Amino acid sequence: MFLIVQNDPNCPAGMLNQVLEEARVPYRTVCAFAGDPIPDPSGLTAAVVLGGEMGAHDTERHPHLARVIAFMREAVAAGLPLLGICLGGQLLSHACGGTVSSPSPHGEHGIHHVDLNAAGAADPLFAGVGNPFVTFQLHNDSFTTPPGATLLASSPACPAQTFRLPGRIYGVQFHPEVDRSIVDLWDGFFSPRAEHLSGFIAAEETFNAASRTILANFVSLSLSPAQP
């Protein structure tokens, strides 16, 4: 079973659901924020941990984060294919010994370009993706590459955009899952209202091409036999 862990009611899986359905991959969404139990990694084929407005260290205000961190540590130890998106990537970095800065000088909002380094350009997560590629960003916090991980991508404002741990375990700072409805929802949480949606729509075609490819690549990797 492919698992989606949702940390925030306003941060759904968006395009990821479409990619899984098109690939005919059975999946289940666990609403960790609502207290749903998180399955043992041993019974899963892969997992994606989504974003949220909270910070990786906000376990007192959001106790479910402690359970998500524990799950991610178990998943890494078990070699489960895992993708952490934005907060999910920050939680993965934290769980594996990296540093999450909150707030960070590397925050980004809206459409931005991300640059692959040599390792990223050769990584199967980014097969068929241009360099640089278009992303949607909405983060005030940022992560470092944890010990034992390989940095794959960066942006002018944020030096750590993607890392890979041994196996098929990735953390990304950007949001490949968002669509118009999600960006519109998030704009409404700013006062005054943010205007990220117009920029998103202007870049939507190139954003969708890169983001769908990245998500589909992860799904394909998660279903392929583990490499020695």
Tens of pLDDT, residues 31-90? 999 999 999 999 999 999 999 999 999 999 999 999 999 999 999 999 999 999 999 999
Q: What is the average pLDDT across 184-201?
A: 96
List CB contacts of 45: < 8 A, sequence separation 6 or more: 1, 2, 81, 222, 223
Q: Name the band, by pLDDT with cuts 50, 70 and 90, for residue 228.
A: very low
pLDDT above 90 covers a percentage of the chain that reads 94
> Residues 118-132: what's their mean pLDDT?
98
Specify the pLDDT at position 227. Answer: 58
| CA nearest neighbour of 6 among 54, 74, 60 | 54
C-beta of residue 43 within 8 angstroms of C-beta of residue 1 = yes
- 205: which residues sit within 8 A by CB, 6+ positions away? none
Cβ–Cβ < 8 Å for 14, 177: yes
DSSP H helices in the chain: 15-22, 64-78, 87-95, 118-122, 180-187, 196-202, 204-223
CA distance readout (Å), 182 to 5, 14, 170, 176, 212: 17, 7, 23, 12, 16
State residue 39 phi and psi, 5-degree precision. Answer: -65, 160
CATH H superfamily, domain 2-223: Class I glutamine amidotransferase (GATase) domain (3.40.50.880)
Q: Give the CA-trace dihedral at 54, 56, 58, 61, to 10 degrees.
A: 60
According to DSSP, the β-strands at 142-143 and 133-139 are unpaired
CA distance 157 to 151: 15
